[in-house]
């Protein structure tokens, strides 16, 4: 019996490991972004940018074929809602209204086997962000930006996955 387990373990080591899409995200001059939680503190800025980087990497792993390389440069960011310092003593209460949708300007390059297969610069907007039932019910940070990026991945890279 122990020999059989050893053989199975050795066989599992020989199986190819599924590669993921390699993703790099760079935030270009975040101090000049429209929003991005950057004005309040270095901690808010770091958490916001790290959160967006994680979201983009996870969506690339989910939506792109293994082995693709995606490079994204975030050029501008305006998070959903607006900070209303009058309604919060700490000044960090973010109020969501219909006219405070998230937007992001980015430049991207998608490579497959070293060859560029998609490239561009776009401004993403989720003008109806409060109508997204999944995002509205979610309690995770950056939920509206995640929904906006997920929609972009589904539409922009639908043919790249095939």
Secondary structure of 34-74 in HEC code, one letter for each residue? CCCCCCCCHHHHHHHHHHHHHHHHHHHHHHCCCCCEEEEEE
Q: Give me the residues paired with residue 71 across strands.
A: 24, 109
How far apart CA 1 and CA 47 sit, in angstroms, is 50
Q: Give the pLDDT band (50/70/90) at residue 88.
A: low
* Residue 90 three-state SS: coil
120-153, pLDDT tens digit by residue?
A: 999 999 999 889 888 888 888 899 999 999 999 9
Say how far residue 129 (Cα) sits from the centre of its chain: 16
At what angle are helices 143-156 and 42-63 packed, to 10 degrees? 30
Whether pTM exceeds 0.85 = no
Percent of the chain at pLDDT > 70 equals 75
Which DSSP string do the residues of 118-152 spell out, in sequence order? EEEEEEEE-TTGGG-HHHHH--STTHHHHHHHHHH
Closest CA to 73 of 52, 45, 93, 88: 52
How far apart CA 121 and CA 108 sit, in angstroms, is 6
Q: Give the pLDDT band (50/70/90) at residue 8.
A: very low
Domain residue extents for the chain: 18-156
């Amino acid at each position: 019996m122990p020999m059989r387990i050893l053989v199975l373990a050795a066989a599992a080591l020989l199986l190819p490991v599924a590669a993921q899409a390699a993703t790099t995200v760079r935030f270009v001059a975040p101090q000049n972004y429209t929003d991005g939680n950057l004005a309040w503190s270095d901690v808010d800025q770091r958490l916001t940018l790290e959160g967006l980087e994680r979201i983009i990497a996870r969506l690339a792993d989910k939506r792109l074929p293994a082995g693709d390389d995606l490079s994204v440069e975030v050029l501008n960011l305006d998070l959903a809602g607006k900070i209303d310092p009058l309604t919060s003593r700490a000044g960090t209460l973010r109020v969501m209204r219909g006219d405070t949708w998230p937007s992001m300007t980015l430049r991207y390059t998608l490579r497959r086997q070293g060859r560029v297969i998609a490239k561009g610069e776009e401004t993403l907007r989720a003008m109806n962000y409060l109508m997204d039932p999944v995002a509205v019910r979610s309690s995770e940070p950056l939920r509206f930006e995640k929904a906006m990026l997920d929609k972009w991945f589904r539409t922009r890279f639908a043919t790249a996955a095939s």
